[in-house]
Homo-oligomer: A and B are copies of this chain.
């Protein structure tokens, strides 16, 4: 059903293994993987094309065979980010406890942000908001939320409720990420998300 592989395993792992030949074989993916890894360790400002090439074990200009410029690389990373987020949300929705779909999806959303802070910030920066690939990836991600909202909301209110749900969970993720809101102890994170979502959800779940 879902053919998407997570970036930390599966087909991606191969691309980081030592290469024996002059040709890399999968440099595009290796660059994305390297960029993803570097964003896990630092922020966007510290990510340079040269460093990505270095980490992929390749000369500084080799990435230009696969990306028009630095922006194109970042755009591709962001698109992957949305794919990952969409997968995480869909998985949470599928495995949700009865009557807890919103809460479990919200928890997954916040966890994604905390697990990939720099990627998350990049996804919601204005730098690549107008790229078509990113826009479509963002839209499919939003659709996962939308489907759940539509299942339990009168048609006339779907727009507002979708925005409200998304805004709440997105804002919460951002505020926690930035240290403006602090769950007391990591075990309390899920409870905090649950409480906030319940406090803002006036519509029922079936």
Contacts and interface: CB of A to CB of B under 8 A. Distances in A.
Contact of A126 (B160, B178, B181): B178
A178 to B, nearest CB: 5
A61 interface: no
Nearest to A157: B199
Interface in A148-179: 157, 160-161, 163-164, 166-175, 177-179
Contact of A170 (B45, B157, B174): B174
A178 B124 contact: yes
A3 interface: no
Contact of A202 (B168, B171, B177, B202): B202
Contact of A181 (B163, B179, B192): B163
A145 to B, nearest CB: 11
Given A129-B178, A171-B172, A180-B142, A164 B196 contact: yes
Interface string A39-66: 0000101000000000000000000000
B129 A121 contact: no
* Smallest CB-CB A-B distances: 9 pairs: A171-B171, A167-B171, A200-B200, A170-B171, A167-B172, A164-B199, A129-B179, A168-B168, A164-B196
Interface of A: 43, 45, 117, 121, 124-127, 129-130, 138, 142, 157, 160-161, 163-164, 166-175, 177-181, 192, 195-196, 199-202
30 contacts: A43-B127, A45-B45, A117-B126, A124-B174, A124-B175, A126-B178, A126-B179, A129-B179, A129-B180, A130-B179, A138-B180, A160-B195, A163-B172, A163-B175, A163-B195, A163-B196, A164-B168, A164-B200, A166-B175, A166-B180, A167-B167, A167-B168, A167-B169, A167-B172, A167-B175, A168-B168, A169-B171, A170-B171, A200-B200, A200-B201
